[in-house]
Chains A and B, each alone.
Chain A
């Protein structure tokens, strides 16, 4: 049997890789991705790579305003990513962040429109917060209930819930449209600014950023140092073990998804009440889906998520700036985002697995 050929290489699972090596691999992937993006952009525009990178940079930090917009976008994306994380930790694939955000935004807009003549400003804001959390929690809780009770596939369920939310928003946009027949709501309460979240420190976006920062810390503590967080981890690792040690699995699933959906609702509230002050069917801009990637890239760790959401938003805005300044279609940024994601997704392989090459054949005496 000596002539059986050993394959050129075989793949084996790595043990725990030190965290800095993991991030080294990811750093390399981002670097490679940037090179690939520059190459693609060069092919399309014929610009030299230096000016391409300069454009990416200026897209995010070109002016104080742009930097604020960058941080605002990071905050919202981070909020959704944090929201979906507890669900992911128990292997519940909640890709319905989009819909949960939308209904949160819808509840916010409903409070702003229907309660503006009834309650004082602080009352409206209070109602907005409560209503958006409840709306998001309901939207996340429905799939969770069926998952816990009958094991209904949550990926597809939450996905469908996104579109139902979109249509619901479309319905209310027509109900509330200003002026009639315009097909859009416009800025809500432009004169009275009722239900607009307060501006602190003279910066429109600061409040959102602070709120999300607090949520981020709270989520870190919740997941790592609370009993709930531990139960989530056990359910994620093995449902049978969880049941064996006396954790009520269905209750954990529903509870975690209520939290997850509620937080997505908060993200929608921050978006509608804090920055946009309007409601459209595309207000979430795919963040519910991007959040899946942000959360996964950070290995479901809330602190690392700050970094990954920064990375994604930075690159997205850079890519957007490229398309504007070189006169390309705006969708070019989607292509670049896709390329970057492919590289990062691919790099995870080198973190989790090891390639063992065939040893040089030993000469037999």
Chain B
């Protein structure tokens, strides 16, 4: 019998970084910026949080002296700052200097992954640990703290109440982002910028500002995804390259959800499930077949991509100006 009660929480925990990453990327893409630097940004967000947590933890005389409020606040703020700077750099290059978005994004990912691994590696050396990882268990415990109700209510608690605060924050952020995009004036303006910046400009919308704000906020949200991965999912253990290709997967999730963050809440769990499905399918001694199962999220994304382009419905298309820089004097 397939063990749903243990499967779903793990799928959710896999899905939350993807949800945050894809919510951030959706906001960015709605402004017409295809930010392929999201994987790098998530790395930077994660390592910035780890640096913040490490500095706070090592400034304390003993782990007992830790203030749980500060232990959450410091890594979160440093994570947001790191991711914000990455978003700012991307905007400066693509919006102000009108550079090619694909190239800038790929460079940003190279930089971000290098940044994360370099400082991660250096911190591991600094901490003098013999293992190739850095453990921030005390900080992580604050992040992982969940309602005590979750332990006493059986399967319901396990499936719905057993997560750290960032998981609930991720769902709320996604729902709020979905609401803002579809129901508010700001969202309407943002979509206009992404669909046709020239029209938006002539309607008096400050295209540059919308692109900057959307991309920077998007980067910060994506950075939180990295933070959640390290602090909650990986129990505060940073090891280089452990984050893997989740950043690219969250870009895939954007397509899968057809640019709707609120759909992402369910879709991210589905993706998380697909990502770990290979551990739950009995394959005996045949390890090779597991590698084939790991393809599933990407195959599903491609199928969605093809179907949306075949149906050619207006609501499910990428923002029309996605990937092109806007220059007012261009005809």
Using a CB–CB cutoff of 8 Å, the interface residues on chain A facing chain B are: 11-13, 93, 95, 146, 150-153, 155-157, 159-161, 163-164, 167-168, 170-172, 174-175, 286, 289-290, 292-293, 296, 328-329, 331-335, 337-339, 341-342, 345-346, 348-349, 352-353
Contacts and interface: CB of A to CB of B under 8 A. Distances in A.
6 contacts: A160-B252, A174-B288, A337-B110, A339-B111, A346-B93, A348-B100
A163 B298 contact: yes
B102 interface: yes
A35 to B, nearest CB: 17
Contact of A155 (B34, B97, B98, B309): B34
A13 B329 contact: yes
State the main secondary structure of chain B at its contact with A.
helix
A156 B36 CA distance: 10
Contact of B288 (A159, A171, A335): A171
Contacts of A157: 302, 305
B291 A331 contact: no
B117 A331 contact: yes
Given A13-B329, A150-B310, A342-B111, A348 B291 contact: no
Interface string B58-69: 000000000000
A115 to B, nearest CB: 21
A152 B106 contact: no
A37 to B, nearest CB: 12
B245 A334 contact: no
B: interface residue count bin? 35 or more
Contacts of A328: 118, 122
A346 B103 contact: no
B102 A335 contact: no
Contact of B108 (A11, A146, A338, A346): A338
Interface of B: 34, 36, 89, 93, 97-100, 102-104, 106-118, 120-122, 240, 245, 248, 251-252, 255, 287-289, 291-292, 294-295, 298-299, 301-302, 305-306, 309-310, 312, 318, 323, 327, 329-330
A292 B103 contact: yes
Contacts of A167: 291-292, 294-295, 298
Given A152-B306, A157-B302, 13 more contacts: A152-B305, A155-B102, A156-B251, A160-B305, A167-B291, A293-B107, A328-B118, A329-B121, A334-B113, A341-B107, A345-B100, A348-B97, A352-B98
B100 A331 contact: no
B252 A156 contact: yes
Contact of B306 (A11, A146, A335, A341): A146
Contacts of B112: 338
